[in-house]
Structure 1
Amino acid sequence: MNPLYMAQKLFERYAHIEEVKHYYGLLAIFGLLQTAEEKQDAMLLDKGRALLSRFPERIGHPAYNFPSYAIGGIPKAYALLRGWMPEAEAQVREYAEEMLTAPRDRNGIMSYRYEPEQEKIWIDVATAVTPYLLYAGLALGDERYVEEAARQTFLMYEELLDASNGLLHQCKNFSGPGRHSEDHWSRGNGWGYLPLAELVRLLPPASPHRPKAERYFKALSSALLPHQSKRGLWRQEIPFDHSYEESSGTGLILYGMGVGLRMGLLDRETYEPAFRLGICGLSAYCINDDFSTELSCPGCLCPGEGEEKGTVKAYVTLRLPRRDELHSFGPLMLALTEAYRNGIYQLSREA
């Protein structure tokens, strides 16, 4: 089965289940735009634009941690960058300016807006902020946005890095002042990997931020690689062999690896077999015949209570995977698009 067809059908499944509007929905629209771009499918691109045109006036909005979600977030900025929605320029600029003034901790990392005095930071923010500002900066010719895009991901990577294994913790100050969560959560590492992938994919060759982006991208790639399961997936708690395999983090990781292979940053002999194994694993174990999804962790920000809050035990036992979990669709779509870009044109649906 063609990976781009699979990505499109995944989006249709998502839209059938629920209105596409939350942050994980915006990631799915981003995946839809990339699918349309790779297929050179004008009708599919029109569908993406039509969805984005509903933001903000024709959407019933949930509570957002990031106001940019109200206008369509990452996919709206990407559509502007690609020239598909020039009418979005004022919106994208307005919310890029808002990001430049959002609450930050003492080190300058964008923090939880509702309790700024507690300086709560979490790696999910890297995906919320960096691609949006990067696309906005490149589209609008504003280096301030590009500078802040790179700065936020670099600062989060440095703060949340576990130097003992090269993987990322999810958060700090959520389980107590000065405390990092103990995890190496699959989707959390994916949230840190995707923005690095976008930086190495789109930063101009002469950008002063490119050397560090490439260095951190390669380092996280190298840290992730040894933990791939025999079925090609990464686990909810990445280095813990008894943890369940998790599809949304795997999708984000494979998207990044696909980008790295195409950009020539990852050694093809080393990473291509892992990439192909992972894409086959997603197809066989994470996507059903009706394009429902499996093995995705639900919302997971420093789970647990009391002494167990933010522990590995809490990440593994309190957030169990479920069918059609809504975080799954965007990452799977992005991975499938990268599969096609890397020359994988047909996938078996069997293990």
Structure 2
Amino acid sequence: MNECWFYAGPFESGVEPELADLMRTDRVYQTSALQQGKEPSGTLAAAERTYWRLDRPDTFIRPYYENAMLSNKWTVGSVTNYGRWDYPLGVTVYGLLQAGRYMQRPDITRYAAEHVQACTQMYEYSLWDREQYGFPAINQQLIMLKMLDNCGSFGSAMLESYTECKEPTFLPIAERIADFMLSRLERRADGAFYRTCAGEYAENTMWADDLYMSTPFLVRYARVTGKSEALDEAAKQFSLYRKYLFMPEYKTMSHVYDFKYEQATQIPWGRGNGWTLFSLTEVLEALPEEHPERPALIAFFNELCEGYAALQSESGLWHQVLNHSETYLEASCTAMFAYGFARGVRFGWFKDPASYVTAAQRAWKGLVSKAIDRQGNVHGVCSGSRYAFTAEYYDQDLRTVTNDNHGIGIMMLAGTEVAQMERHLSERTANSTASAVHSG
């Protein structure tokens, strides 16, 4: 009979694997080097791992994640994104978690958490796959771990998901990401994160985006593990990035500082500024009242919000390049500014909150009328960016993509935060009225 069999093994003598473990494809199995005819390492046989194989010589089964590779359309299209580890999907997962919690929809939060679990439960296999074949077929960004994009956003969503599922595979991965950020990531002499990227277009640069790629993860890592040095690092990075990227004349952030030319690009790209404000609210929410960096960061938050509010268009949206009104209106940065303003109102960080209530509401109204259609499709989101010293690049080369994952999650987050802000204001008014009636 012409049959094809899968098998895993050989196993250690006298060891019988659990049946449940033999009904999975997300793990590798321990075996013995000597039983495979290999030389022992030192005095003991080297521990080896194996995976499912066919009844053919040296023929392993190899799961892989089929996806659209990097291009302006890599986050959309006919290929599924479920179970994929990458940075825009980190924002999407966070948006699903927060929207699901606000709407009391456990089906949504469960879906988001299971997306993350689909990645992390293949982590051990992915490491083995890289050893076996030279390049991982699954979780490429996590396993290669070359830059903050590869780990910070999705790692943050992973730790946010931990409250939903307590998945044991999350914590070892979080430790690896934290070690990368705190001990091995490239830094300037003053400690600021930056990108060396030798031989690449981004060689020797600092990006406002990287505040998002690092600090929300560090905040959640500190929260889950109790390691306050991670939160201290997050606060420190904001002070350092301000020194390089802040544009005081507009109270906005330059997208990139290019150390090859020792100057900032002086282009306040909308989403780069959105990442900055989004991440600063994450740090401020976690930072203790007595933390020495807190007063400066509160002042920085107010400074940025003043600059952004002054550049909001009549439509409620912000322009792709914030201080260039001829560039197109962009949805993802608008959602992030609405998110930041709403959180500032709710947490009491503004000196004068009233104008920011109005700005957040105008932004959300603009998004609902111009960026979200009746079917829930999201429009007007800038595609993934490189950088330039001209506004024309951001306006002409970076066109919008429908349902781009850079915008879907932040749209859910903006809607959730504006709703929470309005509920907070309503409750405060109700409490004030009740107090007045009681005292009267």
TM-score in terms of structure 1 length = 0.85
Question: Counterparts of 1:344 and 1:284 in 2: how far apart (Å)?
Answer: 22
Counterpart in 1 of 2:339? 255
Distance in 2, matches of 1:221 and 1:250, equals 12
| Distance apart, 1:212 and its partner CA | 2.0
Equivalent position amino acid for 1:61 in 2? N
Aligned ranges for residues 1-351 of structure 1 at < 5 Å?
A: 18-20=80-82, 21=84, 22-56=86-120, 57=122, 60-63=138-141, 65-66=147-148, 69=151, 72-80=154-162, 82=163, 84-85=165-166, 87=168, 88-101=170-183, 102-112=185-195, 114-115=197-198, 118-173=203-258, 176-266=260-350, 267-302=352-387, 309-343=388-422
DSSP-derived class of the 2:176 partner: helix
- The letter for the 1-side match of 2:303 is A
Name the amino acid aligned to 1:335.
A
**For 1:41 and 1:236, how far apart are their aligned partners in 2?**
34
With 309-318 and 133-142 compared, the bigger mean Cα shift is at 309-318
Find the structure with the greater CA-based Rg.
Answer: 2
Residues 92 and 292 (structure 1), Cα distance of their counterparts in 2 relative to 1, 3 Å cut: same
Q: What SS does the aligned partner of 1:55 have?
A: helix
C-alpha deviation, 1:250, in angstroms: 0.7
Classify 1:252/1:71 alpha carbon distance in 2 versus 1 (closer, same or farther; 3 Å): closer
For the residue of structure 2 that corresponds to 1:327, the secondary structure is helix
Q: SS of 2:381's equivalent?
A: coil
Q: Secondary structure at the match of 2:370?
A: helix
* 3-state secondary structure, aligned to 2:93: helix
In structure 1, distance between residues paired with 2:175 and 2:344: 29
Contact 2:274 2:333 in 1 (8 A): yes
Separation in 2, partners of 1:16, 1:215: 45
2:87–2:150 Cα contact (<8 Å) kept: no
Shift of 1:236: 0.3
Q: Deviations over 1:28-76 (max 9, x none)?
A: 1011111122223322222121111012427833546337639931111
Q: Is the 8 A contact 1:104 1:110 kept in 2?
A: yes
The amino acid of 1:85's aligned partner reads K
Structure 2 residue identity aligned to 1:78: E
Preserved contact between residue 26 and residue 75 of structure 1 (Cα < 8 Å):
yes
Give the 3-state SS of the residue equivalent to 1:103 in structure 2. Answer: coil
CA–CA distance in structure 1, aligned partners of residues 254 and 365 of structure 2: 27
Contact (CA 8 Å) 2:257, 2:265: kept in 1 or not?
A: yes
Q: Which runs of 5+ in 1 are unaligned?
A: 1-12, 303-308, 346-351
Alpha-carbon distance in 2 for matches of 1:15, 1:36: 25
Deviation at 1:83, TM superposition (A): 6.3
Structure 1: distance between partners of 2:220 and 2:277 = 17
Instruction: Give 1:285 shift.
Output: 0.4
Q: Is the 8 A contact 1:173 1:180 kept in 2?
A: yes
Query: Distance between the aligned counterparts of 2:79 and 2:369, measured in 1?
Result: 22
Q: Are the structure 2 counterparts of residues 73 and 16 from structure 1 closer, same or farther at C-alpha, using a change threshold of 3 Å?
A: farther
Report deviation, 1:268.
Answer: 3.0
Residue aligned with 2:247, SS: coil
Partner of 1:349: none
Which residue number corresponds to residue 8 of structure 1?
none
The residue aligned with 2:18 is: none
* Higher RCO by CA contacts (8 Å cutoff, separation 6 or greater): 1
Aligned-partner Cα distance in 2 for 1:265–1:18? 40
Q: Distance in 1 between matches of 2:396 and 2:203?
A: 27
C-alpha distance 157-84 of structure 1, shift in aligned 2 (>3 A): farther
In 1, Cα distance between equivalents of 2:149 and 2:406: 19
| Secondary structure, aligned partner of 2:252 | coil
Q: Which structure shows the bigger proportion of residues in strand conformation?
A: 2
Task: Report the secondary structure of 1:301's partner residue.
Answer: coil
> For the aligned residues, what is the CA RMSD?
2.6
What CA distance in whole angstroms lies between the structure 1 residues aligned with 2:243 and 2:160?
A: 26
* One-letter amino acid of the counterpart of residue 400, structure 2: P
Equivalenced residue count is 325
State the Cα distance separating 1:153 from its structure 2 match: 2.3
2:244 touches 2:264 (CA, 8 Å); kept in 1? Answer: no
Distance in 1, Cα, partners of 2:227 & 2:300: 24
- Using the alignment, how far apart are the partners of 1:257 and 1:221 within structure 2? 7
Q: Tell me which stretches of 4 or more aligned residues in structure 1 moved more than 3 Å.
A: 13-18, 58-64
Alignment check: 8 A CA contact 2:269 2:322 kept: yes
Amino acid at match of 1:105: R
Alignment check: 8 A CA contact 1:293 1:329 kept: yes
Name the TM-score, length of structure 2 as normaliser.
0.68
